[in-house]
Amino acid sequence: MRIVLTGADDLARALRDAGAEVVYLTDTDPARVAATAVQEDADAVVAATALPAITALLADNGAEDIAVVAADGALAWLADTAGE
């Protein structure tokens, strides 16, 4: 599972420990986040803010298959989707 994560480095470590490959961004600009997710062929984007904007930008780029997940639910989401 490849995840593009913005913001929390402690969450990046936790996601890695849970088995995810994490592409960590300090930039939270929705356009950059969406572009990175497409470029990295991510399975998901995890962010604390701008989720509707990121979702719309991914759709505009034909990447509706990339999940957009709120940071506070990321570990539970990863556990629920493990093995898919």
Task: Please report, for the chain, the start and end positions of each structural domain, with discontinuous segments joined by +.
Answer: 2-71
Q: What is the mean pLDDT of residues 62-74?
A: 96
**pLDDT tens across 7-46, in order?**
888 999 999 999 999 999 998 899 999 999 999 999 999 9
For position 11, what pLDDT does the model report? Answer: 93
CB 34 within 8 A of CB 58: yes
pLDDT at 1 over 80: yes
pLDDT at 84 over 80: no
Distance of alpha carbon 3 from alpha carbon 78, whole angstroms: 10
For position 20, what pLDDT does the model report? Answer: 94
CA-only gyration radius of the chain, Å: 11
Minimal CA–CA distance to 3: which of 57, 61, 81? 81
Q: Please provide the distance, in angstroms rounded to a whole number, between the alpha carbons at the two ends of the chain.
A: 9
For position 9, what pLDDT does the model report? Answer: 85
Superfamily for 2-71? Cobalamin-binding domain (3.40.50.280)
pTM over 0.85: yes
